[in-house]
Amino acid sequence: MDNIVEKLKALGFNSYEAKVYIALLKKYPATGYEVSQMADIPQSRAYDRLQVIKSLLHLMINPKNIPLLHQKSLLRDLNEK
């Protein structure tokens, strides 16, 4: 997982944001609480990092869940770096 975190950091994510995004790839949709548990970060940080991810990825968000970029698109972008 550290390798994926590092690749996401190269795309502009910080460590918490990368862990949150990876958690969302594993389980979508997910609440902020579920994301914090899967990412092993404080719940308050999961919520604020979800907002940052929204900005980084330019996604629409509803109050409970965040949509994802298609996983294959992310992996393709990571492999191009």
- pLDDT tens, residue by residue, 8-58: 888 888 999 999 999 988 988 889 999 999 999 999 999 999 888 877 665
Q: What is the dihedral of CA 8, 75, 34, 39, to 10 degrees?
A: -40
- Closest listed residue to residue 20, CA positions, set 36, 33, 31: 36
Question: Which amino acid makes up residue 80?
Answer: E
Token code pair at residue 31: 């609440």
Q: Return the pLDDT at 81.
A: 56
Structural domain harbouring 34: 2-80
Q: Return the pLDDT at 10.
A: 87
Say how far apart CA 15 and CA 4 lie, in whole Å: 10
Question: Which amino acid makes up residue 38?
Answer: M
> Measured at the alpha carbon of residue 59, what is the angle toward residues 56 and 63, in degrees to the nearest 5?
110
Q: What is the domain-level CATH number for residue 30?
A: 1.10.10.10
Number of domains in the chain: 1
